[in-house]
């Protein structure tokens, strides 16, 4: 499988953040709002569409590009039928401008109803090259789910439907999350993965976000997940045993991502990791682009903080990253991909000294922070940015 990403200057990338969730998970640090008031959703989608149309007409009309790639993340777009109404309107609008859509990525939860998913496929599949549905399964083990505070039921009918559907233009991704304490369940989940056999799999280890309910509880009970993971050799062994098993059928093409074939790879994610530009919409959406009026390579990336009420009122705030943050973001993302995007992916792992994601971050962070003079690393990053030729 050839995964090396050649830049496609003729493609554009748009991200939409949908911040609503029927149930909030203890471990999640994304900007999200309990989905209780129907009116919020209605106004939010109206505002999102208006905002999108304004930006599209300002930035895209008259510009030459081949395809538009769309990403809908969350929050949980699949928690409401308002999303499908919004998506239909958005696609109709783009059709009016004769826009050709490359890939549409969508994050859904494991509790999504069959009606919702069938309606989604009916609405969009004939309008694009690829629909990539990413299902947040987290774990098949109820112990893991309870421990991390995932307050949803898995709809196995949905998973079975997606397993059997075999739709040519639909790629299924399953998202998994682990904590060191329950790492052994990863090995059981891997066997479930082989049963459902999605086009791609994302294996995450819980990020250390101290402001989440999970980490606040962990602090009170004296359990500190990340430290345990870094110090525990057994966890590394489990991680590698599981990844080795997955690699019997999947290519490991990014630190957390594996795919059976190019079909499962998200073009949108590759674009993000490589540091190319994209435009984002939503109450807390992160985009990356040239700052208007500046000739330099400086870019703005909005933070994950957000304000629903302000967004609905039409107030759009952007938090610009300072240079150090941009550099840090670049290095981590670029390295995550650079280390793994070998054509000969079977040898990629053995070529590496780095053992696992947490250790990788630790090394990287220590390397970065221990420099007394950060000029060196900044000049390296500047060169990196220049070479990327935005
Ligand atoms: C932001 S969620 C949105 C999709 C959907 N709401 C869901 O929960 O599946 C996308 C994925 O990010 C991952 N995720 C969320 N919080 C995380 C965290 N603190 N650490 C690592 N992965 C996380 C989960 O695997 C989740 O499925
Ligand atoms: S992980 Fe997904 S479902 Fe859970 S709170 Fe975050 S966005 Fe919502």
3-state secondary structure at position 53: helix
3-state helix, strand, coil in the chain (%, to 5): 45, 20, 35
Cα 282 to Cα 16, 42, 44, 68, 285, distances in angstroms: 6, 14, 9, 18, 5
pLDDT of 384 reads 47
CB 284 near ligand 1, within 6 Å: no
pLDDT of 299 reads 46
pLDDT of 291 reads 57
Q: How far is the CA of 367 from the centre of ligand 1 (A)?
A: 28
DSSP code for 303: -
Q: Which CATH architecture has domain 11-390?
A: Alpha-Beta Horseshoe (3.80)
pLDDT of 377 reads 47
Which residue in 108, 43, 51 sits closest to 75, CA to CA? 108
CB 30 near ligand 1, within 6 Å: yes
Q: How far is the CA of 166 from the centre of ligand 1 (A)?
A: 25
Neighbouring residues of 260: CB distance < 8 A, sequence distance ≥ 6: 197, 198, 199, 200, 249, 250, 251
Q: How far is the CA of 294 from the centre of ligand 1 (A)?
A: 35
CB 78 near ligand 1, within 6 Å: no
Nearest CA to ligand 1 atom 25: 175
CB 136 near ligand 1, within 6 Å: yes
Burial of 326 (0-12, 13-18, 19+ CB in 10 A): buried
Q: How far is the CA of 180 from the centre of ligand 1 (A)?
A: 17
Nearest CA to ligand 1 atom 16: 28
Which residues in the chain show pLDDT less than 50? 1-7, 294-304, 339-357, 368, 370-378, 381, 384-385, 387-390
From CA 161, how far away is CA 115, in angstroms rounded? 11
pLDDT of 317 reads 66
From CA 42, how far away is CA 52, in angstroms rounded? 15
Q: With pLDDT > 90 as the criterion, what percentage of the chain qualifies?
A: 40
Task: Share the mean pLDDT of the chain.
Answer: 78
pLDDT of 341 reads 42
pLDDT of 153 reads 97
Query: For ligand 1, what atom is nearest to the CA of residue 28?
Result: 16
Query: For ligand 2, what atom is nearest to the CA of residue 30?
Result: 6
3-state secondary structure at position 111: coil
From CA 307, how far away is CA 286, in angstroms rounded? 13
Given a contact cutoff of 8 angstroms between Cβ atoms, the answer to whether 140 and 105 are in contact is no
């Amino acid at each position: 499988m050839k995964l090396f990403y050649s830049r496609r200057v003729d493609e554009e990338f748009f991200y939409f953040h949908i911040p609503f969730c029927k149930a909030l998970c203890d471990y999640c640090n994304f900007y999200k709002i309990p989905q209780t008031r129907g009116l919020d959703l209605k106004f939010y989608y109206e505002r999102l569409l208006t905002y999108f149309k304004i930006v599209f007409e300002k930035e895209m009309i008259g510009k030459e590009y081949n395809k538009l790639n769309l990403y809908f993340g969350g929050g949980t777009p699949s928690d409401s039928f308002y999303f499908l109404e919004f998506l239909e309107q958005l696609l109709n609008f783009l059709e009016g401008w004769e826009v050709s859509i490359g890939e549409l990525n969508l994050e859904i939860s494991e509790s999504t109803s069959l009606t919702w998913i069938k309606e989604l496929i009916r609405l969009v599949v004939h309008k694009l090259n690829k629909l990539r549905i990413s299902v947040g399964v987290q774990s098949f083990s109820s112990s893991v789910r309870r421990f991390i505070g995932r307050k949803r039921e898995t709809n196995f009918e949905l998973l079975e439907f997606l397993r059997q559907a075999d739709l040519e233009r639909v790629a299924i991704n399953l998202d998994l999350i682990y904590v060191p304490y329950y790492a052994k369940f990863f090995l059981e989940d891997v066997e479930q993965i082989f049963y459902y056999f999605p086009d791609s799999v994302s294996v995450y280890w819980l990020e250390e976000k101290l402001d989440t309910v999970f980490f606040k509880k962990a602090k009170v009970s004296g359990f500190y997940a990340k430290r345990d993971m870094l110090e525990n050799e057994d966890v590394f062994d489990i991680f590698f045993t599981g990844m080795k098993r997955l690699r019997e059928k999947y290519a490991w093409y990014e630190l957390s991502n594996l795919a059976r074939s190019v079909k499962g790879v998200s073009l949108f994610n590759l674009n993000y990791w490589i540091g190319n530009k994209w435009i984002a919409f939503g109450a807390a959406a992160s985009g990356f682009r040239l700052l208007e009026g500046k000739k330099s390579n400086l870019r703005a990336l909005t933070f994950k903080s957000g304000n629903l009420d302000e967004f609905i009122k039409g107030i759009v705030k952007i938090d610009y990253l300072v240079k150090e943050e941009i550099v840090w973001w670049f290095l981590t993302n670029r390295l995550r991909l650079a280390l793994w995007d070998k054509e000969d992916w079977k040898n990629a792992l053995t070529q590496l000294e780095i053992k696992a994601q947490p250790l990788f971050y630790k090394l990287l962070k220590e390397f970065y922070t221990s420099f007394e003079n950060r000029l060196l690393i900044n000049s390296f990053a500047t060169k990196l940015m220049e070479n990327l030729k935005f």
